[in-house]
Amino acid sequence: QLQLQESGPGLVKPSETLSLTCSVSGASTSRSNFYWGWIRQAPGKGLEWIASIHYGGKTFYNPSLKSRVSMSIDTSKNHFSLNLGSVTAADTADYYCAREDSETSDNAFDIWGQGTMVTVSS
């Protein structure tokens, strides 16, 4: 059974880079029909898609975050990562990693990690 698990620091200082990793078990990150994404939810706000990546290198970014975001994937370690630079308090949120399966539910996230809370504060 496919499972996702986020990991990373729970506290990041303003102006620094937030780095998160999503470890995938139960399936390969190099499956051609899988896309891997990051979504966040700030306190009192709705869900916000951050970015998605395919193992072949294709990456999609939220235009409002594109200048600060990068995603990478390491199929040998079966995980993918998110870097968000120049963070501010507005980046404080629960961060989720998730999967899209283009063969079944394209452009929808059918498997989610449990989420990790990240606070931006000095």
Partner 1 sequence: QSALTQPPSASGSPGQSVTISCSGTSSDIGGYNYVSWYQRHPGKAPKLMIYDVTKRPSGVPDRFSGSKSGNTASLTISGLQAEDEADYYCSSYAYRNSYPNAIIVFGGGTKVTVL
Rounded least distance, CB 108 to partner 1, Å: 4
Q: Which region, judged by CB under 8 A, interacts with partner 1, from 16-24, 71-79, 85-93, 108-116? A: 108-116
Q: Say whether residue 112 binds partner 1 (CB under 8 A).
A: yes
Residue 15 neighbours by CB under 8 Å, 6+ apart = 86, 87, 88
- Choices 21-29, 75-83, 85-93, 104-112 (CB under 8 A): range interacting with partner 1: 104-112
Q: Select from 14-22, 23-31, 72-80, 111-119 the region that touches partner 1 (CB under 8 A).
A: 111-119
Q: Measured from the CB atom, is 16 or 48 closer to partner 1? A: 48
Whether the Cβ atoms of residue 93 and residue 111 lie closer than 8 Å to each other: no
Task: Name the DSSP class of 46.
Answer: -
Q: Is the Cβ–Cβ distance between 23 and 78 less than 8 Å? A: yes
Q: What are phi and psi of 23, to 5 degrees?
A: -90, 130
- 68 φ, ψ to 5°? -115, -5
Give me the residues that bind partner 1 (CB under 8 A), please.
37, 39, 45-49, 52, 60-63, 66, 96, 105-110, 112-115
